[in-house]
Chains A and B, each alone.
Chain A
């Protein structure tokens, strides 16, 4: 079974600075993926970035990048140049073994960006 751990209940960052949100995972699958989603106060879940276990390079999407360390089983999200609109809950998630896998989510991290 998959397990995702996000150890930071809350994080604070100054606007325009970078912040790292931690995620560790535990899976018995040989091939797996890691997703990050953002959930603003409005409640919608917004896909941010994906990393596959066999991807050799860390994934990047605009200001979002994934610091993927397979040996440590960590897939930390790095947000560069934080903006006030980045204030939200962030979830790390991993699917089950199939390509349509149901997602197992971490507990989430609330990020607050200060002006």
Chain B
């Protein structure tokens, strides 16, 4: 079946502009996560959505970052007034509802969006 997809794959923008990054999770996955991967900071959690619950926004680095998930499926991560330090690869992941042998559910990752802020 189709995996997690993200668009665009690459985005170059100018400092101060807003950008939107899109994530399509695997169909039926109720949990969706955004992570950021940069050279200096490694892999950082940003935000996650679980079903209809309020999202966990504890990883968002500033109020310039926001995300929404419409209809429990597609998610958009928005970065306003981009700064050069926002340059990174933004990874989206999704995971299935609970069940099975493991109490923790494997997260399936998309290919990422490489954001470059000039």
Interface of B toward A, CB cutoff 8 Å? 30-31, 33, 35, 42-43, 45, 48, 50, 56, 59, 89, 91, 93, 95, 98, 102-112, 114
Contact = CB atoms under 8 A, between A and B. Distances in A.
Given A100-B48, A102-B48, A47 B106 contact: yes
Given A33-B104, A35-B106, A99 B48 contact: no
Contact of B43 (A33, A46, A95, A105): A105
A29 to B, nearest CB: 11
B103 A100 contact: no
Contacts of A52: 102-104
B43 A91 contact: yes
A83 interface: no
B76 to A, nearest CB: 19
A50 B104 contact: yes
Contacts of A45: 91, 93, 109
A21 B95 CA distance: 26
Nearest to A93: B43
Given A104-B45, A107-B42, A95 B104 contact: yes
B102 A100 contact: no
